Structure 1
């Protein structure tokens, strides 16, 4: 279940596990996939290289656009230098969970 994947949250803040792929062909949220340990992660692909935080910024922008919130409402709270990240979204958790439920399974 998607709600088991989400990190600690309140009614207005949700943490989402992310697997980022830099230097992709286009910016996109590809879907949800299980990592090696079986935990679900949202697959986010961005075109920029992971230099100077550019990829993290692009991940936040891509995620914000996909969820339908402003860029300032999405931030990386863990994994700034890793492909495996935790993003924090300032949006109702029910809305974020419904958005994740609609993503394709990879």
Structure 2
């Protein structure tokens, strides 16, 4: 199982977020008790009023070189485990580019 999947023209990304971290980073994979894999991410923002979620979207946009407005939280608003939708990321050329970048982040740790 992988941390991303395609949904039509979009890319869905599974992320395990650690808010309130000392530094912001993306990397590594966390596997839950059901065997589902989640991309690890840490942000400095606190989990209050959506600040950590906004910081996660900003961090992903920067690392993926993708418009922030094209990344949205699909589920996990108040949970560490989140699913994000990257609009346009599932199109053939975009998917190949983004999946290569995400794979690099997964192997970073």
Shorter-chain-normalised TM-score: which range?
0.7 to 0.9
CA distance in 2, matches of 1:22, 1:50: 6
* CA pair 46-57 structure 1, distance change in 2 beyond 3 A: same
Corresponding residue of 1:76: 73
CA distance in 1, matches of 2:36, 2:108: 13
Corresponding residue of 1:64: 61
Trace 1:25-64 onto structure 2 (pairs within 5 A): 25-64=22-61
Offset, 1:105: 6.2
Whether the aligned pair in 2 keeps the contact of 1:32 and 1:105 (CA below 8 Å) is no
Q: How many residues align?
A: 103
**TM-score, length-scaled by structure 1:** 0.85
Unaligned runs of 5+ in 2: none
Deviations 1:7-39 (A, max 9, x none): 4512x3101001000000111112223222221
**TM-score, length-scaled by structure 2:** 0.83
CA distance in 2, matches of 1:7, 1:78: 15
Unaligned runs of 5+ in 1: none
* CA pair 23-63 structure 1, distance change in 2 beyond 3 A: same
